[in-house]
Amino acid sequence: RSGTVQDLDTRCLVFTELQTRLKEAENGAIVTQRKLNRTQTELLEVQGLFNSTQEALVGVKSNLGVIGGELNETRSELSGARRELGAMGGELNETKRLLEDTKLELEDTKFELKNVTESKCALQKGNLTKWDILYSPAYYNKTFTHRLYQQLTTTWDSISNKLFVMTITDKVIELIKDLEDGQIDRCGDLL
C-alpha cells in the first residue's frame, strides 16, 4: 500500500460517496423499474382496450355491411312499391274517368226517365202497337182496375175482361203484344 492516511481518507470518502451515489442510482433504478412496470401494465391495458375496440370495430363494420344490404333491399322494395303505386294511380285515373262517364250516363238516364214520367204518355209516334200504351205511366206497374178499364174500353173492348186483377209488367205487355186478337181469350190461363 502506498499513500498516506490522508490519501486513504480521501479515497474512502470518494468510495463512500461512490457507494452513496450507487445506492441512489440503485434506488432510482428501482423507482424507474416500478414506473416501467406500471407503464407496461398500463400499456397492456391500453393494448387490451385497443384490441377489443378493433374487434368491436370489425363487428360494427360487419353490422354496417348487413345494414347496408338491408338498406339496398329496402330501397329496391321501395322502388317496386313506387312503380306499383304509379300503376295503381293510372288505374285509379282510368276508374275515375269510367265513373265520371257512368255518372254522366246515369244523369242522362235520370233526365230521360223524369221526362218519361212527367209526360202523360211517354210513347212517341212510330212503330207502335196497340199494346204499347201499357208502357205509359198511366198503366205501367199498376194494377188493372175498373178505372183503367174505362180508359181503355174505346180501343180494347175484346181483351179488357181478361186483364182484370193482373199487374201490368214487361212480361205481360210483351206476351199480349205477340198475340192476335183471337188468341187473347186464352191468355188468362198463361198468366
User: What pTM did the predictor assign?
Assistant: 0.33
Cα-based angle 92, 95, 96 (whole degrees, multiple of 5): 85
pLDDT at 36: 94
Give pLDDT, residue 172.
78
> Phi first, then psi: what are they for 132, rounded to 5°?
-65, -20
| CB-neighbour burial class of residue 132 (10 A; exposed 0-12, middle 13-18, buried 19+) | middle
Element (H, E) at 4: none
Residue 81 banded pLDDT, cuts 50, 70, 90 = very high
Residue 159, Cβ neighbours under 10 Å: how many?
19
Evaluate whether 129 touches 177 at the Cβ level (below 8 Å): yes
